[in-house]
Structure 1
C-alpha cells in the first residue's frame, strides 16, 4: 500500500494498519493493509505518564504464555502491553492503543529479542523514529516490501531500547542456573551454547561475541569445555555449514567428557536443535524463559529509558545501578518464585 501523508495538528504523520498476527508457531491468516483513524498528539506540556511496550517474537501457546508470565509482575507497578510478532504492525498498534487507553503518553519500548539488531529497522520506521522504510519486512509470516508500510498511529512519546537480551548480566546468570540444575558434574561436562544466529555476517559475529560472557561464567564455574555457536537458522546456505560444525562440536565433547550440555541461547524453547543433533547424546536445558530475571531485565531496560529523559517511574529511582545512566542511546520521538526447570532429556 503506498504511503499517504496526512496532516495532524500541523505535523506530518504516516498512519497505517495491518490485519494479521505474527507467531513462530502455526499457520498465519492472510494480512490486508487498511487505513486506520489518526490518534491525537499529546500536548507538549502534558504530564508524562509512563508505560512499557514489550516486543517479543511470539510462538505457540506455551511460548507466548511464558512471555506473558514474565511481564505480569510489572503490571502491578506500571501499565504494560505486549506486542508479539516479528515487529508485527498490527500487534504493535494494538499494544500502543491499549497503553493509550490506560492514559499512557510516554512509552518505553523493550524488545525481548536475543539480538538488538532483530527487526530494528522495521521497528524504528513503524514507531516514526526514522524516515526510511526497510527494504523488506515481515508481516505475519509473509515478507513484504517496506514501501507497503506506514508508521503507526500514536500520540505518545516513544523511547526505544536498542539492546537485546544477549550479552546482558541477566542472560549469563540464567544460563549458569540452567547448567547448575542439569544434574551433571561440571568438571566432567562439556557445554555448547547454541543461538538462532543472524543472516548478516557482521551481525552474527556480534551475537557470538554477546554469548561470551555466559561462556566465561560457565568456564569459571568449572565446566571442562564451553563453546558458543549459531545455527543461522533462516539462511539455508549458511545453515548447512553451521549444522555440521555444531554436530561435530557435540560429538567431539561426547568423546572427551562424561556429559554434554546443550543450552539454547534463545528466549524460549529448544528450537530445531533436537532435529539437528539427532543421533547424538546430550542433555538439553531450557532457554532464558521461564526465569524471574527476565522480568528484572525488562524493568531495568524500561527504567533506563525513562531515567535517560529525566523521568522517574514506578520502576524505581534513577540511580546508576537502576538505570540512571542509559546503557544505549535513546531513540525518542518528541512530542513469583522461580519456575521449576523443564524435565531435562537426553537426545539420542
Structure 2
C-alpha cells in the first residue's frame, strides 16, 4: 500500500426517483473491482481539514483505499502554494500521472469553485471566496477546534498550480449511493423507528444559490431513506455556519422551527449529521439544538469503509480517463 504525506495548511417526484436510479446504476459501487496496481500513479487528495482527530480519520480512509499507487494529502483552503508543493513532491517520487481527488461533500461552494480555479478548471478566481478571505469571515464566527489552525496569512488567490505530468481532476461527493448507504446505516441503528422524524443536517454554503443546490442533493438522500424505511418522516436542512450571522441565524431558526413542528405533531426527532468526520461542526449542532429535546446521532460519515471505496472509485475512473 502506498504512503501518504500530509500538507498542513435535483428535481421533484418521479424525476427525482429516476435520478436516484440513474445515479445508483452509474455509481458502479456494488461489485468489487480489482485493486489498482500502478506505482507510477500519484493520487493527491484534497480536503478542507480540521483538528488532529478530524484529519486522522481522512488519512485512515485514504490509507485503507486498496491499490499500489503513491498517495499524498493537502489539508487547507485551496492554497496554491501548498498544493503546488505536493504536486512537485509526487512528481519527484517518479509518478508519470496524477489523479486529484477532492474529498468534499459538495462542489457547491465558494471554496470549491476557488479550488477549481487553482487546478485550472475555471477561468477566473471565485469572487466570493476572495471577499471572504480578505475580510476574514471564515474565521469570525466562533468555531469548534477544527478551525483553530486557520490563521495563515492571506493567500494569493490569482495564482494557479502547474502539472508537468498528465493529470485529471475527480469530482467531489455531492450525491453518491455509497454515501447514502452510510446514512441509511445510521438510521438503521435506531432501535425504535415508530413515530420518528429524521432530520438530515448538513453544513451548507454561504450563498443562497449554492444552498439550493446543497438542498437538492440532500433531497436525493432523503428520498432514498424514505424509500428504504417506509412511513419514516425525513427532513433535511443546512445550518450555513460560514455565512454572515443573519443568514446563519435564519437557517438555525428554520431548523429549530422544523423540529418543533414535528414534536407538536407527536413525533420524536432524531438528527443525523451529514458531516465528513467528527470533532468538528457537530459541536455547533449540539449547541444550537441544546434545548430542542431531540436526539443527535453522534456518528459522522467517517469512519466507514465506504469512504475508502469512494476514493478507490474516483482513482479508478481517473486512471481510465487518463488512458483515453
TM-score by length of 2: 0.73
| 1:246-287 deviation per Cα after TM superposition (whole angstroms, max 9, x unaligned) | 011222323435532111112122251111111112222222
Bigger strand share: 1
Q: Which residue, out of 306, 313, 319, partners 1:293?
A: 306
- CA 1:223–1:132 in structure 2 vs 1: closer, same or farther (change >3 Å)? same
> Which of 233, 239, 246 is equivalent to 1:231?
239
Mean CA deviation greater in 284-293 or 121-130: 121-130
1:241 and 2:250 correspond: yes
What secondary structure does 2:199 align onto?
A: strand
Structure 1: gaps (5+ residues)? 1-19, 23-46, 312-348
Assess if the C-alpha contact under 8 Å between 2:198 and 2:235 holds in 1: yes
- The Cα offsets for residues 36-81 of structure 1, whole Å up to 9 and x where unpaired, read as xxxxxxxxxxx99322111111111110010001000236422111
Query: 2:99, 2:319 within 8 Å by CA — same for their partners in 1?
Result: yes
Partner of 1:7: none
Give the Cα–Cα distance (whole angstroms) in 2 for the partners of residues 122 and 184 of structure 1.
43
Q: Please report how far the alpha carbon of residue 226 of structure 1 lies from its aligned counterpart in structure 2 after TM superposition.
A: 0.7
Query: Which whole-Å CA distance do the structure 1 matches of 2:322 and 2:183 have between them?
Result: 32
Equivalence map 1:134-153=2 (5 Å): 134-135=126-127, 136-137=129-130, 138=133, 140-141=150-151, 144=154, 149-153=158-162
1:94–1:281: structure 2 CA closer, same or farther, 3 Å change rule?
A: farther
1:107 matches 2:114: no
**1:133 matched to which residue of 2?**
125
Aligned to 2:147: none
The answer to whether the 8 Å contact 1:190/1:257 transfers is: no
Bigger Cα Rg: 1
1:252-267 correspondence to structure 2 within 5 Å: 252-257=261-266, 259-267=268-276
Equivalent residue, structure 2, for 1:65:
56
**Structure 1 stretch displaced more, 52-61 or 210-219:** 210-219
Q: Quote the residue 1:250 is aligned against.
A: 259
Residue deviations 1:102-136, cap 9 Å, x none? Answer: 21132111111111134233223322444533434
CA spacing shift, 1:257–1:308, aligned 2, 3 Å = farther
Deviations 1:9-43 (A, max 9, x none): xxxxxxxxxxx944xxxxxxxxxxxxxxxxxxxxx
Distance 1:121 1:214 in 2: 23
C-alpha separation in 2, matches of 1:129 and 1:48: 26
Q: What CA distance in whole angstroms lies between the structure 1 residues aligned with 2:265 and 2:73?
A: 44
Distance in 1 separating the partners of 2:210 and 2:85: 30
1:177 matched to 2:185: yes
Match of 2:79 among 78, 81, 88: 88
> Is the 1:167–1:212 Cα contact (8 Å) retained in structure 2?
no
Residues 21 and 90, structure 1, Cα contact 8 Å, conserved in 2: no
The CA RMSD over aligned residues, in Å, is 2.6
Q: C-alpha offsets along residues 180-227 of structure 1, whole Å, 9 cap, x if unaligned?
A: 12x332233110011111122221111111012221222121353110
**8 Å CA contact retained: 1:107, 1:156:** yes
| Structure 2 Cα separation of the partners of residues 143 and 279 of structure 1 | 38
Contact 2:107 2:113 (C-alpha < 8 Å) held by counterparts: no
**How far is 1:244 from its partner?**
0.6
Q: Distance in 1 between matches of 2:207 and 2:153?
A: 17
CA offsets, 1:138-173, max 9 Å, x none? Answer: 594568475x54222431222112x32231111211
Gaps of 5+ in 2: 1-6, 10-37, 135-149
Q: Does residue 121 of the first structure (1) align with residue 129 of the second (2)?
A: no
Structure possessing the higher relative contact order (Cα contacts under 8 Å, 6 or more residues apart): 2
Partners of 2:108 and 2:221 in 1: CA distance? 19
- Taking a change above 3 Å as real, the CA distance of residues 48 and 80 of structure 1, as seen in their structure-2 partners, is closer
